[in-house]
Chain A
Amino acid sequence: MATRVGKYTIRMDNPPSIIGFAAVGSKMESEGPLAQNFDLLCPDSTLGEQTWEKAESRLQKDAVNTALSKCQLSPPDIDVIFAGDLLNQCIGSTYGLRDLGIPFVGLYGACSTMAESLSMASLFIEGKMACRTLAVTSSHFCSAERQFRFPLEYGGVRTPTAQWTATASGAAVVGEKVSPPYVRQVCLGCIEDLGIKDANNMGAAMAPAAAKTIQRFFEDTYTNADNYDLILTGDLGTVGSDLMIQLLEKENYQVRAKHKDCGMMLYDLNNQDVGAGGSGCGCSASVLCSTILPQIKNAQLNDVLFIATGALLSPTSVQQGESIPGIAHLVHLSSREK
């Protein structure tokens, strides 16, 4: 059974395994430094679909089917699926997964959704409420732009702090303990808001949430950055990463040497025009499932803290002048069960 450690952290006494995983992406991702780690890369960002929303659903469906086929499973083998995306009413997930016939739980945590869904998927296994679960999230640059910003062909200029929504999806199949990667602990974050109002600087809006969740996890587990090989934040980008490191330094936690950010890994920040880095539910999900999970499986990385971060804004809240609340959930992944 799962045990609560400290105030915020949950430890898996019988850590579930991530038995299958897959990442899919599109053109920008295929031009990025992680391209060779992806399972599927479709250079056409419509993915052969009529609308951007359908294209995103297709990404998610492809990620799920690829992850399942990689561990020789099919949809009936999954007891429950936890899925989310950025679109209104989570239609990326619902339309992508409607034909699979798997009990469905839709989640919204903005770009933090992969850590949220992976936490839920793992806790369901640990609590013996399911034998196999699936966590999947997606985002699509074009569907996100039209919902949150401007039409694609509009000639507005982005500020240097803006981030690029990844056209990608990542899926992870979780099952009972068999082999690494194991999900050892999760730490669910609180909503944090330090008053950032600029929707073109979501890294700054999310950094306090990431810092707080990491700090709470360290305090609960009496550990610090030295105990882990990698502290992987979701999509803080360059600005948010810098701020999070500074915030943790104020609390006497030095994470700079161990820290990487999915938004800064997915793209070549010098040669691809992505502003402060990648973002979107698909960013952290695809970096995790393409690059990080294989390295934990091979024990190239032993202990990884995966902290996906989300900016919980909507176009309406931004227009009404509200500040942007951030959230960050932490999942401790390991090549060792104890």
Chain B
Amino acid sequence: MIIMALTPKDYEQMNKKASPPTKSYLTIPMAFLIGGLICTLGQFLTNLYTMLGLVKEIASASTSITLIFLAALLTGLNVFDNIAKVAGAGTLVPITGFSNAVAAPALEFKSEGLILGVGAKMFTIAGPVIVYGTVASVIYGIILYVFKLY
């Protein structure tokens, strides 16, 4: 019995050659385009809400709420993942991605009940974003505080 004289390192080289890479020349422009469209929609909503007489802060918050609602609705209608397949980070990075990351597990795990399913699993994807987002904001706050001392 001859043992294949192949180390994991050699095999990794073979694997790299055999595995097709992500077509970045297609995915990056699509992410830019659709991500940009979502941001344009956000700006349009902000302008619309301001025109309707909301003050700036409330108009911005209302825009976020609208985008979150739309993404959650599209997730429930089984449409969001089809858009995301084409848009990639274009839908993932804006607040729409966060909404989808909460709505998708909530839908998926309803078969395990409201407590251990929806309640417990809702933040499996978005949870880390909240945790490390909060941690980052604390660090940012401390830096800001220190700089303002002098």
Residues of A with C-beta under 8 A to B21? 160
Write the nearest CB–CB distance from B3 to chain A, whole angstroms.
9
Q: Which residue of B lies closest to A212 (CB)?
A: B4
Does B105 lie within 8 Å of A204, measured CB to CB?
A: no
Q: How far is the CA of A153 from the CA of B75 in the complex (A)?
A: 6
The answer to the question of B59 belonging to the interface, with a C-beta cut-off of 8 Å to chain A, is no
User: Given A151-B109, A153-B104, A154-B100, are A161 and B4 also a contact pair (CB < 8 Å)?
Assistant: no
Write the nearest CB–CB distance from A289 to chain B, whole angstroms.
29
Q: Which residue of A lies closest to B103 (CB)?
A: A153
Q: Which residue of B lies closest to A245 (CB)?
A: B18
The majority secondary structure among interface residues of chain A is loop
The answer to the question of B39 belonging to the interface, with a C-beta cut-off of 8 Å to chain A, is no
Query: Of B6, B12, B97, B108, which one neighbours A250 at CB under 8 angstroms?
Result: B6
Q: Which residue of A lies closest to B99 (CB)?
A: A155
The answer to the question of A219 belonging to the interface, with a C-beta cut-off of 8 Å to chain B, is yes
The answer to the question of A14 belonging to the interface, with a C-beta cut-off of 8 Å to chain B, is no
Does A195 lie within 8 Å of B105, measured CB to CB?
A: no
User: Given A151-B109, A194-B8, A247-B4, are A157 and B88 also a contact pair (CB < 8 Å)?
Assistant: yes
Does A50 lie within 8 Å of B81, measured CB to CB?
A: no
Write the nearest CB–CB distance from B75 to chain A, whole angstroms.
5
The answer to the question of A74 belonging to the interface, with a C-beta cut-off of 8 Å to chain B, is no
Q: Which residue of B lies closest to A142 (CB)?
A: B108
Q: Which residue of A lies closest to B27 (CB)?
A: A157
Residues of B with C-beta under 8 A to A97? none
The answer to the question of B145 belonging to the interface, with a C-beta cut-off of 8 Å to chain A, is no
Within 8 A of A (CB), among B6-63: 6, 8-9, 11-12, 14-15, 18-23, 27
Q: Which residue of B lies closest to A151 (CB)?
A: B108
The answer to the question of B149 belonging to the interface, with a C-beta cut-off of 8 Å to chain A, is no
Q: How far is the CA of A216 from the CA of B3 in the complex (A)?
A: 10
Residues of B with C-beta under 8 A to A1? none
User: Given A152-B108, A195-B8, are A204 and B84 also a contact pair (CB < 8 Å)?
Assistant: no
User: Given A194-B6, A246-B14, are A161 and B20 also a contact pair (CB < 8 Å)?
Assistant: yes
Q: How far is the CA of A242 from the CA of B104 in the complex (A)?
A: 35
Q: How far is the CA of A194 from the CA of B14 in the complex (A)?
A: 11
Residues of B with C-beta under 8 A to A195? 8-9, 11-12
User: Given A151-B105, A247-B6, are A204 and B18 also a contact pair (CB < 8 Å)?
Assistant: yes
How many residues on A have C-beta within 8 angstroms of the other chain's C-beta atoms? 36
Residues of B with C-beta under 8 A to A150? 104, 125
Does A50 lie within 8 Å of B111, measured CB to CB?
A: yes
Q: Which residue of B lies closest to A242 (CB)?
A: B18
Does B22 lie within 8 Å of A160, measured CB to CB?
A: yes
Within 8 A of A (CB), among B84-98: 84-85, 87-88, 91-92, 97
Write the nearest CB–CB distance from B105 to chain A, whole angstroms.
5
Write the nearest CB–CB distance from A327 to chain B, whole angstroms.
16
Query: Of A51, A155, A211, which one neighbours B84 at CB under 8 angstroms?
Result: A155
Does A239 lie within 8 Å of B19, measured CB to CB?
A: yes
Does B84 lie within 8 Å of A146, measured CB to CB?
A: no
The answer to the question of B101 belonging to the interface, with a C-beta cut-off of 8 Å to chain A, is yes
Q: How far is the CA of A238 from the CA of B15 in the complex (A)?
A: 12
Q: How far is the CA of A19 from the CA of B1 in the complex (A)?
A: 36
Q: How far is the CA of A212 from the CA of B1 in the complex (A)?
A: 11
The answer to the question of B139 belonging to the interface, with a C-beta cut-off of 8 Å to chain A, is no
User: Given A155-B84, A251-B4, are A239 and B109 also a contact pair (CB < 8 Å)?
Assistant: no
Does B108 lie within 8 Å of A146, measured CB to CB?
A: yes
Q: Which residue of B lies closest to A161 (CB)?
A: B19
Write the nearest CB–CB distance from A227 to chain B, whole angstroms.
20
Does B15 lie within 8 Å of A204, measured CB to CB?
A: yes
The answer to the question of B83 belonging to the interface, with a C-beta cut-off of 8 Å to chain A, is yes
Q: How far is the CA of A242 from the CA of B88 in the complex (A)?
A: 28
Residues of B with C-beta under 8 A to A212? 4
Residues of B with C-beta under 8 A to A238? 20
- Chosen A-B contacts, 11 in total, with CB atoms closer than 8 Å, are A7-B1, A151-B104, A154-B125, A155-B91, A160-B23, A194-B6, A195-B11, A196-B12, A208-B11, A216-B1, A250-B4
5 pairs of A and B residues whose beta carbons are closest in the complex:
A155-B84, A195-B8, A151-B108, A154-B104, A151-B104
A155-B85, A160-B20, A195-B12 are known contacts; what are 14 more A-B pairs with Cβ within 8 Å? A7-B1, A150-B104, A154-B101, A155-B81, A155-B87, A156-B84, A157-B85, A161-B20, A195-B11, A196-B11, A238-B20, A246-B18, A247-B14, A323-B8
